[in-house]
Structure 1
Amino acid sequence: MTPPDAEAFYVRLDDHRYIPTEHTRGPWDAAAQHAGPPAALLGRALEERPGARTDMRLARVTYEILRPVPIAPLEATVTVLRAGRGTEVVEAALAPEGGRPVMLARGLRIRTTEEPGPAVADGPHLPAPSETSASPFFGVPWEVGYHTAMEARFAEGSWLERGPGACWLRMRIPLVAGDAPRALDRVLVAADSGNGISNVLNFERHVFVNPDLTVHLQRHPLGEWVAVEARSGVDEAGIGLADARLHDEKGPIGRSAQSLFVAPR
């Protein structure tokens, strides 16, 4: 099926089924999605399933990227694994219609307090997006994809520099056609970029892909911009870790981590 021509990452077919557009396309395979958009889609499924409690918020989500996510119709299913008074654990799966799951998400939702409590800041602020300049993505062999659907502004480093980096990311289009972008969409669509922001190896000589992603959120972002302040390390055995602090313009909002599989091309 040809992806629809829509200014969004996905077109909704019904409550569970979606068609990806070409804006989901990642930089490595013309037939596969960047992991950011499907991660955000599963985040929505965890938060918005029928009967979901409105007094809880997603505090942690771990993704298992089982295989490349195709640019093809997908179905999201949700299962409640544990429901308690103060916390619940929910699992969502994304699969092509009639196929095996390609991505799993297990989320921890925590009950929020009715009255505001003490807030403790966690770390320094980054330079605001307005204090940085637009940063084009590294060369991608197709004109449209995740790299054109996201606006990037580096506060430290760049896509082409090796080592730690800090990049502000903003969605140019909504996650789902007809729906305004939501706070959780904005952070989850950006969090999988930590590996690329903090790359420590030559793209042309090495593969370094992440088979998982974990995001912890002490609060959900405010505003349109999310920053990923990341650094990567790689062991000689070919296993690495990309660790990132996540920010909005008010300050840190949480962390993300990606295990890395590293190999020569």
Structure 2
Amino acid sequence: MTSVNASKNPTSYYRDLGDGRWESTRAAQGAWNDHEQHMAPVTGLLTRALLRHEPRPGLRLARIGCEILGLIPAGEFTITTTTLRPGRTIELVQAEMIANGRPVVRVTGWRLATTDSAAVAGLTVPPLPGPDEAKPYSMTEKWGGGFIESLTGRVLPDHAPGRGRVWLTTDLSLVEGEEPTALEHLVGMADAANGVATRVHPAGGWVFPNVDLQLHLFREPAGRWLGLDVSVDFGPDGVGVTSTVLHDEDGPFGRSLQILTLREVPGADQPTP
């Protein structure tokens, strides 16, 4: 039987039970269903697992690819890690979350060798105005669940259905009693991008969960605030994409993509986005 740490005021998203066993707290609760975990903190925890699996000096995570294999139940689960493709300058590692006897999320990470490329470094997008230049913003106006409630947000002007720019942070730790790395902390909020600038209201006639999360990181992030410059596109045949430029307070550090499955809910009224 799966147990759930249901404390009303958790200080972390997860508790380490030892021997590869973990337990989610209410803060990890998903936005679509009360009995599932949100993919955002799951991403942070599995990134933590990748970082701690046979670490290699001189290599860093440059791509984190998350495949959501089904509903992610709240409560207890295990994590296993392995090296899929060892290499001197390029390596592929994997972490898998297993709940109730089945894999529910599989994450792979490409580790690439770091070199000094400052002479050719360049960006195609400008940095977002910082969180101090933005207005207070709460995702709880559209979304429920413990994870969304745990976030502090700031929104930049011209927010609209399908297009938005926000900053997010949280005071909670990823793992109870542990200070997360900046990478763990920031990627642990990245999946929230799909809820930032929804084209339709999530309580209305359509649902649009993502079935993956792909993160491409061209530099190591820093700090506590995650900036999301989000665009959402819906196609005509039940598939959509959320595309995001990821920022910290020093500027852009990567991009994320989420493929969406669009499903109409018969008989539901559509609120204003």
TM norm. shorter chain > 0.5: yes
Does the 8 Å CA contact 1:156/1:167 hold for their aligned counterparts? no
Separation in 1 of the partners of 2:131 and 2:165? Answer: 11
The answer for the alignment partner of 2:146 in structure 1 is 145
1:77 and 2:80 equivalent? yes
The answer for the alignment partner of 1:242 in structure 2 is 242
The answer for the alignment partner of 1:220 in structure 2 is 220
CA shift at 1:190, angstroms? 1.7
What is the TM-score normalised by the length of structure 1? 0.92
Does the 8 Å CA contact 1:78/1:93 hold for their aligned counterparts? yes
Does the 8 Å CA contact 1:87/1:110 hold for their aligned counterparts? yes
The answer for the alignment partner of 1:231 in structure 2 is 231
- Output one character per residue of 1:128-173: Cα deviation in whole Å (capped at 9) or x when no partner: 101112211234686x601121111112455xx4120111111220
Separation in 1 of the partners of 2:240 and 2:132? Answer: 33
Counterpart secondary structure, 1:134: strand
Change (3 A) 1:263 1:116: closer
1:61 and 2:60 equivalent? no
Separation in 2 of the partners of 1:213 and 1:56? Answer: 22
Does the 8 Å CA contact 1:94/1:103 hold for their aligned counterparts? yes
Separation in 1 of the partners of 2:21 and 2:13? Answer: 13
Does the 8 Å CA contact 2:96/2:106 hold for their aligned counterparts? yes
Which structure 2 residues correspond to residues 168-247 of structure 1 after superposition, within 5 A?
168-203=167-202, 204-247=204-247
CA shift at 1:192, angstroms? 0.8
CA shift at 1:202, angstroms? 2.8
Separation in 2 of the partners of 1:33 and 1:212? Answer: 14
Q: Alignment partner for residue 93 of structure 2, among 90, 103, 106?
A: 90
Separation in 2 of the partners of 1:219 and 1:141? Answer: 31
Counterpart secondary structure, 2:213: strand
CA shift at 1:262, angstroms? 0.2
Separation in 2 of the partners of 1:156 and 1:227? Answer: 14
Number of corresponding residues: 259
Does the 8 Å CA contact 1:157/1:163 hold for their aligned counterparts? no
Separation in 2 of the partners of 1:65 and 1:54? Answer: 30
Q: Alignment partner for residue 131 of structure 1, among 130, 133, 151?
A: 133
CA shift at 1:224, angstroms? 0.7
Separation in 1 of the partners of 2:142 and 2:26? Answer: 14
Counterpart secondary structure, 1:181: coil
The answer for the alignment partner of 2:256 in structure 1 is 256
Separation in 1 of the partners of 2:106 and 2:90? Answer: 20
Separation in 2 of the partners of 1:155 and 1:141? Answer: 19
Q: Which runs of 5+ in 2 are unaligned?
A: 266-273
CA shift at 1:4, angstroms? 5.3
The answer for the alignment partner of 1:45 in structure 2 is 49
Percent identical: 34
